[in-house]
Chain A
């Protein structure tokens, strides 16, 4: 039997050689735990992310917008399922994962604790929230854990429609009446900073980053991804003709990057700790869905057992 240090060295050598880690292979316990935490948090985000958008299905302004929004929300459910399955390959059961969401031990992206107040918010969510998620997910297609990387490839393929439909909603509003353009501006004002917060704390305040980079779970740091997002998104806002709500935002000729203002980290931590505008509402909605679905789960099991008995 090999000792732990030897196994860990072999594991790291595999990661360094860009050989994917697959289920059932030996891995450090902390690698497994980190992945379960990260993948399940990601899965929960997809599922809770359906709530602010579901709010607008019945009020979408046209049938075209409605089918697009329905398809997008159905994708989010699918993404949640791909990710739960990836997490389960690490030896945790689906029910445990769901319980962790409901009892608050597992987190989901804080962005979904903000309300979707107007139709323009549906545009802003697709453009900014999915845009920020894509930055992170494209990086994760190269993550070291095989099932997670494969789920990400599927998700990235589907996600770009989400971002484009969101941008198209805002483009339509910005080319409309003054009132419609003001709605788009208002949505950008409210979603810009929470979108930047999606990348997580600054590198200096992110204790897990170094280890996750070494294990190649992550390939870029929070600050790198955030900068990348700002750099591609600001010109898109310019094209819409609306203003990013950051007086410190300016292009730096020398670095070829935008400089931007400081995030309100008090707000960030406050929402993470459960005190955002919709934290309670979101968890209540998930709990209600779980409770109201209980009889369906039980009935399906009973029916399957009955039919299996008849077949014998």
Chain B
């Protein structure tokens, strides 16, 4: 038997209107304990109004070795940005 409780990732919404953001991780035997531990470990000072906990094994992370294939193609697509299209100063509200 693995001596370690499963690893969980903790996400906190700091206030309504904002995304949940990754805060850190912790070990817990089950989801309920993960929630209770997340509250004690990551929200002792009003850091949040909502918590998500997800067991780390359920997250698929991109491989840093493949970052080039994944992200470099965006580099030469400047035409996806508004500044690629120069317009005369006289044109307003665009």
Contact = CB atoms under 8 A, between A and B. Distances in A.
B29 A95 contact: no
A22 B24 contact: no
B25 A304 contact: no
A259 interface: no
A82 B26 CA distance: 8
Interface in B18-74: 24-27, 29-30, 33, 40-41, 44-45, 61, 63-65
Interface of B: 1, 3-5, 7, 24-27, 29-30, 33, 40-41, 44-45, 61, 63-65
Interface string A279-312: 0000000000000000001001101100110000
Contacts, number: 51
B45 A81 contact: no
A115 interface: no
Nearest to B45: A158
A164 to B, nearest CB: 15
A245 interface: no
A94 interface: yes
A260 B89 CA distance: 66
A303 B30 contact: yes
Contacts of B27: 94
A25 B64 contact: yes
B51 to A, nearest CB: 15
Interface in A68-103: 71, 74-75, 78, 81-82, 85, 88, 93-95
